Structure 1
Amino acid sequence: MKKIVYVVFIIAVIGLAVNLLGNRASQDTDLAKEIDSLLEKGETQIDLTGLTNFKWTQVNLFGPYTSDEQIEDSMNIKFKGDNGGIDYLDDRFLLVFANEKHAVKTVVLSGMAHGIYTIKDNKILVVDR
């Protein structure tokens, strides 16, 4: 009987861990560095489809003090994961990549050091200097 209780407990813990950790957006620091490098070189339009190596169907950009709930409402997704601190910091912007109904990756962009960021055609990061 103890073995059955133990097995049920392990299955419950694994299920809870998968639910809490599954579908979490991780921060892509390599992509952030690549975008920053292109911006430093003077690029004003960056095609994100050519820089990413993961599957995504939509991308959006969020400014300082944006909450996770606002991201969810704006993109009509479930957002769990790394928001780069934009909910309480005013020196960064966040790109959120989603595949269907879940965020998959985030990218922190530094303040307005390069200009004003926008997204065009759900794939191009535009910087207005």
Structure 2
Amino acid sequence: MIKRMGIVLFSLLLLIGCNNYNIKQNTELEKNINTSIIMVSDKSDSEIYIKAFTNFEWDKAFLINPYTSQEEIEKQVGVNFKDPSNISSRDDIYLLIFLNNGKVVQYAEINRLQTSFSLADKEFLTPSNDIIYIER
């Protein structure tokens, strides 16, 4: 009986360790990016340099478009990531997912604020190539 409880407890701990609970939503990053977008007074296209807003280690960042399904997120990012924002049914945000050494470390919900974002022809951002283009 004790051995069986040990196996059940170990299995539960393993499942808990394999979820997104330790992945942080970076609300400070969200606020800083959203403020930066609002402060651009003209309606022309502009750019955001993401590295200027980050204070954590990352080597790739993926910009996820509104209405992207869970399956498409995992295909684009290349790792298992349970989307906490429910972006598959939302058009008010973009999701920015940061990886370091092949693991998701943080994410941010970026408000659209009557804009569209793109990475131009890039698949993902890196600290040395970190420009998100704003299209108004």
Q: TM-score, normalised by structure 2?
A: 0.75
Equivalent position to 2:51, from 45, 49, 52: 49
Q: Percent identity?
A: 25
1:116 corresponding residue in structure 2: 116
Unaligned runs of 5+ in 1: none
Query: Which residue identity lines up with residue 135 of structure 2 in the other structure?
Result: D
1:99 corresponding residue in structure 2: 100
Deviations 1:36-73 (A, max 9, x none): 11111118322211211222111121222101211121
Separation in 1 of the partners of 2:89 and 2:83? 15
1:126 corresponding residue in structure 2: 133
Q: Is the 8 A contact 1:62 1:95 kept in 2?
A: yes
Q: State the shift of 1:117 in Å.
A: 0.8
Deviations 1:62-111 (A, max 9, x none): 222101211121232222342x2211112221112122333222211222
Matches within 5 A, 1:1-129: 2-21=1-20, 25-42=23-40, 44-82=46-84, 84-113=85-114, 115-119=115-119, 122=125, 123-129=130-136
Separation in 1 of the partners of 2:100 and 2:4? 38
What is the RMSD of the two structures over their aligned residues, measured on CA atoms?
Answer: 2.4
Unaligned runs of 5+ in 2: none
Q: How many residues align?
A: 125
Q: State the shift of 1:21 in Å.
A: 4.4
Q: Is the 8 A contact 2:98 2:105 kept in 1?
A: yes
Separation in 1 of the partners of 2:28 and 2:70? 23
Separation in 2 of the partners of 1:67 and 1:26? 21
Query: Which residue identity lines up with residue 72 of structure 2 in the other structure?
Result: Q
Separation in 1 of the partners of 2:134 and 2:10? 48
